[in-house]
Amino acid sequence: MKSRVWEMLSWFLGYSELRRLKIFINNEWHKATKGKTFAVINPSTGEEICQVEEGTKADVDKAVEAARNAFKTNSEWRKMEPAARGVLMRQFATLLRRDVDYLAKLETLNNGKPLEDSKGDIAISADCIDYYAGWVDKIAGETLPSAPDTFLYTRHEPIGVCGQIIPWNYPILMMAWKFGPALACGNTIVLKPAEETPLTALYCGSLIKEAGFPPGVVNIVPGDGPECGHSIVVHEGIDKVAFTGSVEVGRKVQEVAGNSNLKRVSLELGGKSPLIVCEDADIDYAAELAHRAIFANAAQSCCAGSRTFVHEKIYDKFISKSVELATKRVVGDPFDTKTQQGPQINNSQFKKIMNYIESGKKQGAKLECGGERVGKNGFFIQPTVFSNVKDDMEIATDEIFGPVMSIFKFHDYDEVLKRANETTFGLAAGVITKDVTRAFKFVNELLAGSVWVNDYDAITNQSPFGGYKQSGHGRELGSYGLREYYEVKTVAIKLV
C-alpha cells in the first residue's frame, strides 16, 4: 500500500496549486494572519500529506467582513435575480462533475474512504446543489386573508451571513448539504471544514470562483474547533450557525451562540440508531442490509444502524450470516478497487474504537469475529461483530463511530420498541418486516427523525434529514432544509 500512497501523494502535491492550501476569502487565497499551519494526515498511513494555513479569529473576522459586504442590499449578489443565482449554482455542480476524478482521489487520500465511494459522494453532492438550484425562484411567501382595506402577505428573506461547520466523515457531501439551501435562499457563507479533512473543501473554493460567484459569497477558513470554530460561533457578524458533529460539541455550540448575538442555530448531531429485524424477515436480505447499515463508510456515519435487534426465532441464523459477511469484507488500501472498507479517520478515533471493543468483551458480550487491527500502518480495524449484547453495555449505549456491530435478542414487539427508544439519541431507525400493520406501528412509535422500512440510509435530496432528542434540531435537505436559511417577514399595507 505504501508505494501506492506515495504515488498519490506525489501526484497531489505536483498537480495541485499551492494556493488551494491557503484560506479562501473574497475569492482570493490568503495566508493565515498568525502565520501558522497545521498538518493534514493520510489515515491510510498515518503520514503527513501537506500543511494547510490555520485560520484563527483574525481570519474569521476577515471572512465575516467579506461575507457581510457581499450581503449588503446593493451588492451584486443581493441584486441578482433568483434565476441567476440558480445558474451559478448549476455551474458549480457542473464543475464538481467535471473534476470528479481529481476530487475523488483527493477525498480518498485525505479521508480514507474507498475511491468509488468518494466518486459517489461527489456525484450526490453535485445533485444536491442542482436540487437547490431548482428552488431559487420558488421560495415564496403567502398572501393572507385580511380586512378589505388591507393587503397582508409574507416574504421569505435570507438570514444573512451563515457560519457552517462540517465534519470529516463526509467532507464534500456535508459541504453540499449546507451550501445548497443557504445559497438558494440568497445568504452568504463562512465555512469551516473539519481540520482532519479540509482539502476537498479548499479545492471547491477554486470552483466557486470559476463558477462566477461574486467575491465574499462563499468563504472557506480551515482551522481547529477551539479557535477557528469558536470564533465563528461567537461572532456577532454571523447571523446563523449550522453545525454537524458530536452531541458534546453541539451542546457547546448552542450555548455559546446563545450567549453571543442569540444567532439562529441548527444542529445535526450523533446517533445510536436501532435496526429491528422481525421474525418474518428474509434472513439473507436482512443480514446484508444490517451489514451495510453499520459498516458503510467504515461505520463513520451518524445514522449508522449501530443497534441491531433480532427476533429470537431467527437470532442464531442471523448471527451466522452476519459473521460470514463481516469476515468476507475487504479492508485495506482505499485506492484498490477490491477494497470495501478503508481506515478510521485518525489515531484518536482508532484508539477510542479499540477501547470500546475491549469494553464489549469485558462486559460480557460475545465477540463473534473481528476486533483486531488490520496491518501495521494506518488506522484500519477489522469489521467486528458482537452477539449477546445487553442494553446497559457501553457498546450498546455509546456512539462508537467505528466498525462494531452489536446484535441484541428480543422476543416481544412492544418490548423491543421500548428498548429501541430508550436512548438519548433519535436520528434514525429501521425495521425489516413483511407485515404492513407491524411496519406502520413501528413507524408511528419509533422516536427518530428518519424511519426506514425494509431499507436503511435511504436518504434523498428531497427528503428532510435530522434528529429527535439529543440528535439535534432543525432539518437538512428537502424543502424543510430551506426553512433553516430564511426569515419570514409579515407585511401589512393599509389601502388609503
- Average pLDDT in the 130-147 region? 97
Q: Tell me, what's the pLDDT at 5?
A: 46
Segment (H or E) for 164: strand 161-165
What are residue 433's phi and psi, to 5 degrees?
-160, 155
Task: Retrieve residue 180's grid coordinates.
Answer: 445548497
Report the distance separating Cα 420 and Cα 415, nearest Å.
9
Question: Tell me: the pLDDT tens digits for 67-104?
Answer: 999 999 999 999 999 999 999 999 999 999 999 999 99
- Please report the pLDDT score of residue 430 as a whole number: 98
Question: What are the residues whose beta carbons fall under 8 Å from the beta carbon of 130, sequence distance 6 or more?
Answer: 89, 90, 93
Distance between CA 87 and CA 268 in Å, rounded?
A: 29
Whether the predicted pLDDT of 449 surpasses 80 = yes
Q: 10 vs 174, which has greater pLDDT? A: 174
Cα 425 versus chain centre, distance: 16
Percentage, residues of the chain above pLDDT 70: 96
As a whole number, mean pLDDT of residues 56-71 equals 98
Encoded amino acid at 85, one letter: R
Q: Per-residue pLDDT averaged across 469-490, rounded?
A: 98
Which CATH superfamily is 2-269 part of?
Aldehyde Dehydrogenase; Chain A, domain 1 (3.40.605.10)
Q: Is the dihedral of CA 364, 365, 369, 375 positive or negative?
A: negative
Instruction: Name the CATH superfamily, with its identifier, for domain 274-462.
Output: Aldehyde Dehydrogenase; Chain A, domain 2 (3.40.309.10)
Please give the pLDDT value at position 237: 98
Rounded Cα distance between 187 and 177, Å, is 14
The set of cell numbers assigned to 373 is 487491527
**Whole-number Å distance between alpha carbons of 257 and 236:** 9
**pLDDT average, residue stretch 401-413:** 97
What is the pLDDT at residue 12?
52
* pLDDT tens string 253-310: 999 999 999 999 999 999 999 999 999 999 999 999 999 999 999 999 999 999 999 9
List active site positions.
268
Q: What is the pLDDT of residue 7?
A: 55
**pLDDT tens by residue, 158-188:** 999 999 999 999 999 999 999 999 999 999 9
Model pTM above 0.75: yes
Residue 448 pairs with which residues in a beta bridge? none
For residues 469-478, average pLDDT: 98
Residue 401 pLDDT greater than 80, yes or no? yes
Specify the 3-state DSSP secondary structure of 284: helix
Mean of the per-residue pLDDT values for the chain?
Answer: 96
* pLDDT tens-digit map of 188-229: 999 999 999 999 999 999 999 999 999 999 999 999 999 999
pLDDT band at 18 (very low <50, low <70, confident <90, very high): very low
Residue 2: the pLDDT is 44
Which pLDDT score, from 0 to 100, does residue 162 have?
98
Q: What is the percent of the chain where pLDDT is above 90?
A: 96
Region 428-451: what's the mean pLDDT?
A: 98
Answer yes or no: is pLDDT of 15 > 90: no
**How confident is the model at residue 8, as a pLDDT?**
52
Q: What does the pLDDT read at residue 291?
A: 98
- Residues with Cβ within 8 Å of 420's Cβ and at least 6 positions away in sequence, in order, are 274, 276, 307, 309, 429, 446
Cα–Cα dist 72/142, whole Å: 25
Using CA atoms, how far apart are residues 275 and 457, in angstroms rounded to an integer?
Answer: 11
Write down the domain spans for the chain.
2-269, 274-462
Average pLDDT over residues 319-339: 98
pLDDT of residue 397: 98
Q: What is the pLDDT of residue 476?
A: 98
| Top-confidence residue, 2 or 399 | 399
Give the integer Cα–Cα distance in Å for 464 and 471.
14
